[in-house]
Amino acid sequence: MALRKGIDIKAATVISGLADFLDGYNKRNDMKPICERIVGHPDTHKNEYIARSATYWADEINVPILIIHGAKDKHVPVEQVREFVKKLGKYKKTHTYIEYPDGEHGLKPYGLEYQDKIHQFFRKYI
């Protein structure tokens, strides 16, 4: 949301991040009470869910973005992240996507590797 609101930064990184809040609500029963506490039920507050879902406003991201995600993430489905990355490409937004085929939500085995990728990314864009 900060990227959408025009925060004054030169680049951003998202690790295992939720790209579609509405999809997250629909696919994770354990998250429903939390989501409803934050924005209400999607039947009555759908626009609030969309406002928190970068997939719906990928065209408004105007800084280079590095997205790191695990294909076996059980908390944030990789499919929604892939859809977000696809939309970034459609709108010709500067982005880099790194997907770890065996990576789960915490990406623990890849910590040093992805930290290095983050440092390289920021050195390039800042």
Quote the pLDDT of residue 47.
Answer: 95
Give the global pTM: 0.92
pLDDT at position 77 is: 92
Domains of the chain in start order, with CATH, are 12-125 (3.40.50.1820)
Q: Given its phi and psi angles, is residue 99 left (phi above 0), alpha (psi -120 to 50 degrees) or beta?
A: beta
Instruction: Indicate whether 2 pLDDT > 90.
Output: no
**pLDDT at res. 1:** 82
Question: What is the torsion angle, in degrees rounded to the nearest 10, for the CA atoms of residue 43, residue 45, residue 60 and residue 55?
Answer: -40
Amino acid at 63: V
H helical segments located in the chain? 21-27, 32-39, 42-51, 78-90, 111-125
Q: How high does pLDDT run on average in the chain?
A: 94
pLDDT in tens, 90-104: 999 999 999 999 999
